[in-house]
């Protein structure tokens, strides 16, 4: 993923944020979406399913079952795809002022379309997971640690040091032991049904791309087409701020 580097400290951002999620100026076009003009042919189901399955298997599932121990080192924004990558790592250390959440759910997913939903539920519990998914709210690093979403939340100037120390402790384990442990956890995840989420996620993601919005519902893709991506996602979030009283 662009902007992500890998070393002993783990998977971390090379820029100002871990990941702010997908580029909302381009989402949807991967299937062959065009302008939405009358008469334009919609992308087929087989194309949507093929693209989504490849993304979920090649990126998310592969990271979740990666044969080496993975640690997410998070600062700045960790939204949408960023949060998915963090959830797929074995361990996570975040800066206290990080902003973590599933803003992407505000596109209308309402708790679907992700392969990591079972992982999130197993990590923080069903009720907290559903609050994050159904509201698309963001939480800071301290709150993420409090609810058990991450292993540690530290000041930004201690982030690299803390992650490196954690990685150092992991590296005291024998290589064969780490490999066996990862294999064992895969069996555990499968028996718990956590890995089933990747198949469930890509199928429901494809279903979402066929969502029909009613006249009184917010359709980001329509707004993007009419006013541009920036206006589209600002108007989307303004609706939430008005309810939150912000």
- pLDDT tens digit sequence for 192-217: 999 999 999 999 999 998 899 999 99
Domain count, the chain: 2
Q: Mean pLDDT score of the chain, rounded to an integer?
A: 91
Q: Are residues 176 and 193 in the same domain?
A: yes
Measured distance CA(237)–CA(152) in Å, rounded? 29
By CB neighbour count within 10 A (0-12 exposed, 13-18 middle, 19+ buried), where does 132 fall? Answer: buried
Q: For the chain, what percent of residues have pLDDT higher than 90?
A: 72
Q: In which band, very low, low, confident or very high, does the pLDDT at 52 lie, cut at 50, 70 and 90?
A: very high
Please write the tens of the pLDDT for every residue from 114-137.
Answer: 999 999 999 999 999 999 999 999
Q: Are residues 8 and 112 in the same domain?
A: yes
Q: Are residues 88 and 189 in the same domain?
A: yes
pTM: 0.90
Domain residues for the domain of 16 are 4-211
Does residue 232 contact residue 224 with C-beta atoms inside 8 Å?
Answer: yes
Q: Are residues 104 and 221 in the same domain?
A: no
Q: Are residues 202 and 225 in the same domain?
A: no
What is the strand order of the sheet 10-13 is part of? 4-7, 10-13, 71-74, 91-95, 152-154
């Amino acid at each position: 993923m662009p902007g992500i580097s890998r070393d002993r400290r783990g998977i971390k951002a090379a820029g100002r944020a871990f990941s702010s999620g997908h580029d909302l100026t381009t989402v949807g076009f991967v299937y062959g979406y065009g302008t939405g003009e009358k008469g334009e042919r919609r992308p087929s189901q087989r194309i949507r399913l093929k693209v989504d399955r490849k993304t979920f298997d090649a990126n998310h599932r592969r990271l979740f079952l990666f044969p080496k121990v993975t640690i997410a080192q998070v600062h700045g924004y960790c939204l949408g795809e960023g949060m998915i990558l963090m959830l797929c790592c074995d361990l996570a250390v975040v800066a206290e002022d990080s902003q973590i959440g599933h803003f992407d759910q505000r596109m209308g997913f309402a708790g679907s379309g992700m392969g990591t939903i079972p992982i999130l539920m197993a990590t923080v519990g069903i009720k907290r997971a559903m609050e994050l998914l159904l509201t698309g709210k963001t939480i800071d690093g301290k709150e993420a640690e409090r609810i058990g979403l991450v292993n540690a939340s530290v000041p930004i100037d201690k982030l690299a040091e803390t992650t490196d120390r954690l990685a150092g402790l992991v590296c005291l384990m024998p290589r064969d032991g780490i490999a066996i442990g990862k294999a064992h956890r895969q069996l555990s995840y499968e028996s718990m049904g956590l890995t089933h989420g990747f198949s469930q996620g890509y199928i429901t993601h494809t279903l979402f791309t066929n969502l029909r919005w009613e006249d009184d519902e917010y359709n980001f893709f329509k707004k993007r087409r009419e006013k541009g991506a920036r206006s589209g996602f600002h108007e989307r979030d303004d609706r939430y701020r008005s309810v939150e009283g912000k």
